[in-house]
Amino acid sequence: MAKINPFAALRPRPELASRICELPYDVMSSAEAREMAAGNPLSFLHVSKPEIDLPAGTDTYSPAVYAKGKENFARLIAEGALRQDPQPCYYLYRQVMGKHNQVGWVAAASCEDYLNNIIKKHEFTRPDKEDDRVRHIETLNSQTGPVFLTYRANAALDELAAKKTSETPDIDFTAKDGVRHTAWVIGDAKTVQFIEAEFSRIPFLYIADGHHRSAAAARVYQTRKGAGESGSFLSVIFPHNQMQILPYNRVLKSLNGLTAAQLLEKLDAVFIIKPQGAAQPTRKHELGLFLNGQWHTLHFRPQFAATSDPIEKLDVTLLQKYVLAPIFGIDDPRTSKEINFVGGIRGTAELEKLVNNGEYACAFSMFPTSIEDLMTIADAGGIMPPKSTWFEPKLRDAMFCHMI
């Protein structure tokens, strides 16, 4: 059963939150971060991407970068822009993005649960990215980027969340991208005990986003042998039926020596093709292909999706197995220079732009992977193909920090 703990969060002063809280470090380049933080010394990008305060071209993994992050973090604390709560609490974190609304529980999740697979994974991690997060946590003595977890929805927790979010929030702001971020502090002993009791009935938690952050936290826990608060990690935990997954689209550098007509002929063996199709697929096993300025709707022929294996019937798996490898010659999408991935937040217009400007030869728009598929695969101990899911909205760094 899942074990979570309240913790004394380091949080922004409410009136400064909109200037401090930022998108996660890994959804932007250093150049983009430098531009976003320009003229704003309170921006948490000075902590999460501190290379922006060093000369352009600085190695992002150099000791100077982590030292600068520590210096900037200490400054925000010393100036009182970030303040730690006096007692352990749980928190609620609501995000509103257009018509989508999601409310998650902010808690310290258990590193032991992570290591014992009570917290289930669905992705491999990269050693270099893990090492980076370990160094960041060790240098700051804090986890500043939350892990995005989910659980199968619980009616009692839903009811409590609805009651609490009707009360006056502690932090409430709308970011420049239009996403509204609201937080409530839950510190009374009775409610804290109720939350712990309800989560103790939940058998598993699932990592939606943050595999590297959680893996790094577990490594720090093992190195420190659980000293201080290192035995748990910062998380926001959402019920599964509130999750929003956007597609993770594919763009291809070339047609692998084929003409457009030859490509369509080969694809016809795999798909039922509708020319003059839609940019956005409307159902599972349907894709969009942008080629020569035109969208085609592709639907996998029934025999290709006729499997009970939850990984094998994912659209990203089918595309890799029957199209990208045999037709485009892309055997390993993790390492191939012939393919790139575009998060669904950028829309299909971005795919059209990348192809029309000649940077790429064609693009595939995907239908989003479902949260049910993700949990089924994680339950079976499976690993999803790379770039299978894109969760939105992203959790803001510095809304909550966990001091270890």
Residue where the block lists tokens 């929003």: 244
Cβ atoms of residues 235 and 107 within 8 Å: yes
Answer whether residue 163 shows pLDDT above 90: yes
CA pair distance 163, 152, nearest whole angstrom: 20
Answer whether residue 285 shows pLDDT above 90: yes
Query: What digits encode the pLDDT tens for the residues 251-262?
Result: 999 999 999 999
Which of helix, strand or coil describes residue 157? Answer: helix
Answer whether residue 387 shows pLDDT above 90: no
pLDDT of residue 245: 94
pLDDT of residue 385: 87
Query: What digits encode the pLDDT tens for the residues 174-201?
Result: 999 999 999 999 999 999 999 999 999 9
Orientation angle between helical segments 155-164 and 189-199, nearest 10 degrees: 150
Residue among 284, 288, 199, 215 nearest 245 (CA): 284
This model's pTM is above 0.85:
yes
Phi-psi region of 186 (alpha: psi -120 to 50; beta: other; left: phi over 0): beta
Residue among 95, 147, 150, 111 nearest 374 (CA): 150
- Report residue 55 as tokens: 């000369």
pLDDT of residue 42: 98
Confidence of residue 379 (pLDDT cuts 50, 70, 90): very high
Residue among 194, 160, 148 nearest 6 (CA): 194
Q: List the domains of the chain with CATH numbers.
A: 4-244+392-403 (no CATH), 248-367 (3.30.1760)
Answer whether residue 60 shows pLDDT above 90: yes
Confidence of residue 154 (pLDDT cuts 50, 70, 90): very high
Answer whether residue 164 shows pLDDT above 90: yes
Phi and psi torsions of 393, nearest 5°:
-75, 160
- Concatenated DSSP letters for 244-313? -EE-EEEEES--TT--HHHHHHHHTTTEEEESS--SS--STTEEEEEETTEEEEEEE-GGGS----TTTT
Residue among 301, 303, 277, 302 nearest 363 (CA): 277
pLDDT of residue 301: 97
Q: For residue 92, list its beta bridge partners.
A: 105, 184
Query: What digits encode the pLDDT tens for the residues 229-272?
Result: 999 999 999 999 999 999 999 999 999 999 999 999 999 999 99
Structure-model confidence comparison of residues 21 and 346, the more confident one: 21
Q: For the chain, what is the mean pLDDT? A: 96
CA pair distance 353, 393, nearest whole angstrom: 23
DSSP tag of 324: I
Answer whether residue 345 shows pLDDT above 90: no
pLDDT of residue 374: 94
